[in-house]
A and B are shown apart, each in its own frame.
Chain A
Amino acid sequence: MSSTHTHDHAGHAHDHHDDHGPAKGFKRWLTTTNHKDIGTMYLLFSLLMFFIGGGMALVIRAELFMPGLQLVDPGFFNTMTTVHALIMVFGAVMPATVGLANWMIPLQIGAPDMALPRMNNFSFWLLVAAFSLLILSLFMPGGGPAAGWTLYPPLVLQTGDALPLAIFAIHLAGASSIMGAINIIVTIMNLRAPGMTLLKMPLFVWTWLITAYLLIAVMPVFAGAVTMLLTDHFFGTSFFSAAGGGDPVLYQHIFWFFGHPEVYIIILPAFGIVSEIIPTFSRKPLFGYDAMVYATASIAFLSFIVWAHHMFTVGMPLAGEIFFMLSTMLIAVPTGVKVFNWTATMWRGSLSFETPMLFALAFLFLFTIGGFSGLMMGIAPADFQYHDTYFIVAHFHYVLVPGAVFAIMAGVYYWLPKWTGHMYDTKLANLHFWSSAIFVNVLFFPQHFLGLAGMPRRIPDYSTQFADWNMVSSIGAFGFGLSQLLFVLVIWKCARGGAKASAEVWDGARVHGLEWSVPSPAPYHTFDEAPVVK
């Protein structure tokens, strides 16, 4: 029955849009205003950046394979850690979630496209410009940016000609993010199908709505901070120099006022994806929908008042340390609610374990581990030990890689049949999952040990007592890196062909979202007439 329905729908879409299809060739991609094209471009861009940033990570792990310097100069090593982070955060993870938003938000709320399609195109191409600048900065006299992705002064002011390039790259990427965020808010606020009240929106839409507000709130702050670096360097100001009456720690406060919400800008859409996938494959409604929305909003609010927990060692007053310790610990409560609700969604469900569900489950376990190490670091006295060691490296990689990245991969596998009209190669996809899930732990779990045993982060060489676990971690890194080639292979094969996917794709998915009511692949234009949501 559902297949008949699908067929009619597809036929209809085809007839109607025959002469409105996309332009051919490169021009289609350069000038497109279609949310699906732009979503695809964001996702492919993100994949490319994932591999460039990943290549840098492998340079780092190769150098750290054994004690002693074998491969790179310490200065270049610092450039690798710095640019790896900038590319992964701003070039890989954020554009991936924006790509998913572009593709899925209109489909999930029954809108024909994003509200501001031309700006949508512009925000994507700005991103390309931004990362071209950043990558060019590697070839400047004096080497690439090497002061860490946090760009702390005074060290960052020792950067050579790469500094202005990196700063303008951040400006452009920030402008792109702000435009993307405005577009998402306007789309969600104005283009929802009749009957879709705010509290009927899918969780992915909700988490992105809140994320978009976070972006608008903090991206200008970051832009301001790096602009002050620029004027300190070139125009003789002393915002961050004590010699001129400034304060290097001021930069850290501004940076982390952006930086902590940034953490949630990365992870909230991931929460949204997982909240879509777990109910589908548990064949049960999401447990505690309202609580999930409120928990997301509370996390977003708290993210603005915890920033200085990144700076416990800068020498804050006692009251400040206690305040930021308590507010940080408080975040565990709404985050806990989320984890409990996902677990309760699975409770007495009817679970099946397709690739998206496997990634979502790995997210659930491994993100939670990252959450616990986060809680540990929230305890300020203990953080005096953990701070700037491999323990923090392990922590944020757990929340970013098997956290955000696994959720994004779960989302890609979940919606890929909707995008391409084909089912992906299940065996390869599951192989990709298992090798990623195993190697990611081999890669990052030993880093907890290294940090606790006293290995500082951002060092190219280490004392011999750290040799064993570094070697294990590096083996995991190469295993994880190679596993990602499978991801590309699966996507490539799925785009080219494979078993036809139905409109619903997943058994019983229709009740979980409007995106499953349109044919697979989703026609170039969808929801010309708004569906009615009961």
Chain B
Amino acid sequence: MKMVKRAFVAGLGLLFGASPAMAAWSDVNLRVGVTELSREIYNLHMLILWISVVIAAAVFGVMIYSIATFRKSKGAVPATFDHNTTAEVIWTVIPVLILVAMAVPAAKTLVKIDDTRGSELTVKVTGYQWKWQYEYVGEGVSFFSTLARPSDEARQLNSGIAPTSVENYLLEVDNPLVVPVGRKVRVLITANDVIHAWWVPDFGMKRDAIPGFINEMWFNAEKPGTYRGQCAELCGRDHGFMPVVVEVKPQDEFDAWLEAQKAARQAALAPAAQAAVLAPTVDTTVDTTVDSTAALRVANAE
């Protein structure tokens, strides 16, 4: 009962704009994000939104005026015209011009998005049911990234744990992807079982992760921080529970982090190397993945 009442009050509050949540623009609009691409996409979004608003105001204005004025109840006598070539040509041509004006900047942004050349770091992202694997190509570092435990416990059916009591509910992982700030990062995206999609709204981009194929995208985050997103392609039962978290760090911190990862991995591999002559050398094949994830766990536990 209390819940229903709370819902009702919240609903009314939102409807009439009284809730403080309304104050946050980011709750109702696209994020500007922290990359050049996300900013351009945001600007395209706002441009097409405002064009739509202006056209809507004009068209709805005429409709509302007609509804208010040409009423039978007011004794309006219907006209008999049934076409007007001039008007029809105008309202065919003007939209074409608006669309062309819209298409040009959009195509320019597409070209930019498509250009993955000159990247300074390549990360391979692999989607699994239901986690992500990140692999620093050529660095010998790779690990899995799964939903953080507090969220995972709270999200069970009737867990009794209030989602509001969990920090970053459903948007926290055990091992985030870490990248340096101000560097062009190329992301290779694939999947191991079904199709997933890797998406960080603040980077402006999402790409499908398709088993058997590798997609490419890039981003260049301009501000250090933690950026959160989610899988954006239905991938089965726990589709809603495989978030993407990216930590953007200053170059030196990133370098230190990467070195620590490598060291931890070496430490974890060392006993194995002593035990077996055929121990794998440092490379980026999937075989080493498990080891390096274990290494990461060791590193995190310390």
Could you tell me which A residues sit within 8 Å of B by CB distance?
Answer: 65-70, 72-75, 78, 146-148, 152, 154-155, 158, 241-243, 247-249, 282-291, 313-315, 318, 321-322, 325-326, 329-330, 332-333, 336-337, 339-341, 343-344, 346-352, 361, 364-365, 368-369, 372, 375-376, 379-382, 384-385, 387-389, 442, 446, 448-449, 452-454, 456-465, 468-469, 471-472, 475
The answer, yes or no, to whether B273 is at the interface (CB within 8 Å) is no
Q: Quick check: B210 and A315 within 8 Å, CB to CB?
A: yes
Q: Closest B residue to A279 by CB, please name it.
A: B82
The CA-CA distance from A382 to B37 in the complex, in Å, is: 10
Q: Tell me, rounded to whole Å, the shortest Cβ–Cβ distance linking B108 to chain A.
A: 9
9 contacts between A and B (CB under 8 A): A67-B163, A68-B161, A78-B237, A155-B236, A248-B212, A285-B82, A325-B103, A347-B66, A468-B10
Give 10 nearest A-B pairs by CB, closest first.
A242-B212, A459-B240, A315-B215, A372-B52, A449-B28, A67-B163, A348-B79, A155-B194, A285-B82, A350-B78
Segment touching A, from B14-22, B131-139, B287-295 = B14-22
- Specify which chain B residues have a CB less than 8 angstroms from the CB of A247 in the assembled complex: 212-213
Q: How large is the interface on B (under 10, 10 to 19, 20 to 34, 35 or more residues)?
A: 35 or more
User: Known pairs A158-B194, A333-B95. 5 more at Cβ < 8 A?
Assistant: A74-B240, A146-B236, A315-B215, A385-B41, A457-B234
Among A284, A375, A460, contact of B240 (Cβ-Cβ < 8 Å): A460
Q: Point out the residues of chain A lying under 8 angstroms from B204, CB to CB.
A: 381, 384-385
Main secondary structure on chain A at its contact with chain B? Answer: helix
- Which residues of chain B are within 8 angstroms of A472 by Cβ–Cβ distance? 10-11, 14-15
Contact B70 A458 (CB under 8 A): no
CB pair A468–B19 under 8 Å, yes or no, is yes
CB of B66 within 8 A of CB of A346, answer yes
Between B31, B107, B204, B231, the greatest number of chain A beta carbons within 10 A of the residue's beta carbon is seen for B107
Cβ–Cβ contact A471 & B237, under 8 A: no
Q: How far is the CA of A291 from the CA of B67 in the complex (A)?
A: 23
Query: Contact flags (1/0) for B258-278 with A, using CB distance below 8 Å?
Result: 000000000000000000000
Q: Does B216 contact A (CB under 8 A)?
A: yes
A247 to B214, CA, bound (A): 12
A284-B80, A337-B91, A382-B41 are known contacts. Are A456 and B240 too (CB-CB below 8 A)?
yes
Q: Which of B42-50, B176-184, B247-255 contacts A (4 or more CB under 8 A)?
A: B42-50
Asked if B71 and A350 make an inter-chain contact with CB atoms under 8 angstroms apart, the answer reads yes
B211 cross-chain contacts in A, Cβ below 8 A: 154, 242-243, 248
User: Which residues from 86 to 122 on chain B have a C-beta closer than 8 Å to any C-beta of chain A?
Assistant: 87-88, 91-92, 95-96, 99, 102-103, 106-107, 109-111, 113-114
Nearest Cβ distance between residue B200 and chain A, in whole angstroms? 9
Interface string of B21-34 (1 = CB under 8 A from A): 10000111111000
Q: Residue B72 contacts which of A283, A287, A321, A471 (CB distance < 8 angstroms)?
A: A283
Docked-complex contact A333 and B92, CB < 8 angstroms:
yes
Asked if residues A475 and B7 are in contact (CB atoms below 8 Å), the reply is: yes
The reply to whether B234 and A349 form a contact with Cβ atoms under 8 Å apart is no
Contact A344 B240 (CB under 8 A): no
Chain A residues with CB under 8 Å of B207's CB are 313, 315
Smallest CB gap from A369: residue in B: B56
A474 (CB) vs chain B CBs: closest residue: B7
Q: B232 within 8 Å of A by Cβ?
A: yes
The reply to whether B230 and A459 form a contact with Cβ atoms under 8 Å apart is yes
Q: Which residues of B contact A471 (CB under 8 A)?
A: 7, 10-11, 14
Given A155-B235, A376-B52, A388-B233, A283 contacting B78 (CB threshold 8 A): yes
| Across-interface contacts of B193 in A (CB, < 8 A) | 154
B48 contacts A453, C-beta separation under 8 Å: no
Cβ distance B9 to chain A, nearest Cβ, rounded Å? 10
Output the least CB separation between B143 and chain A (Å): 23
Residue of A with least CB distance to B29: A452
Taking a contact as CB atoms under 8 Å apart, the answer to whether B15 and A291 are in contact is no
Measured between alpha carbons, how far is A519 from B96 in the docked complex, in Å?
Answer: 46
A341, A350, A369 pick with most chain B CB within 10 angstroms: A350
Q: How far is the CB of A457 from chain B (nearest CB, A)?
A: 8
Q: A248-B210, A289-B83, A385-B201 are in contact. Are A315 and B236 (CB under 8 A)?
A: no
Given contacts A78-B236, A248-B211, A381-B110, contact A454 B62 (CB under 8 A): no
Say whether B234 contacts A458, CB under 8 Å.
Answer: yes
B78/A69 in contact, CB under 8 A: no
Q: In angstroms, how far is the closest chain A Cβ from the Cβ of B245?
A: 12
Given that A291-B88, A380-B106 are contacting pairs, would A388 and B72 also be in contact in the complex, using a CB cutoff of 8 Å?
no
When chains A and B are docked, how far (Å) is the Cα of A459 from the Cα of B87? 46
Complex: how many Å from CA A326 to CA B171? Answer: 35
Given known contacts A69-B156, A454-B31, is B110 in contact with A352 (CB within 8 Å)? no
Q: Cβ of A475: which chain B residues have Cβ within 8 Å of it? A: 7-8, 11
Chain B neighbourhood of A464, CB < 8 A: 163-164, 169
Contacts of B62 in A (CB 8 A): 343, 347
B14, B63, B113: the one contacting A346 at CB < 8 Å is B63
Closest to A244 in B: B212
CB–CB B171/A243 < 8 A: no
Residues of B near A243 (CB, < 8 A) are: 211-212
Q: How far is the CA of A156 from the CA of B215 in the complex (A)?
A: 22
Closest partner residue, chain A, to B216 (CB atom): A315
Give Cα A242–Cα B154 distance, bound, in whole angstroms: 37
Contacts of B163 in A (CB 8 A): 67-68, 461, 464
Given contacts A73-B157, A154-B211, A456-B230, contact A350 B70 (CB under 8 A): yes
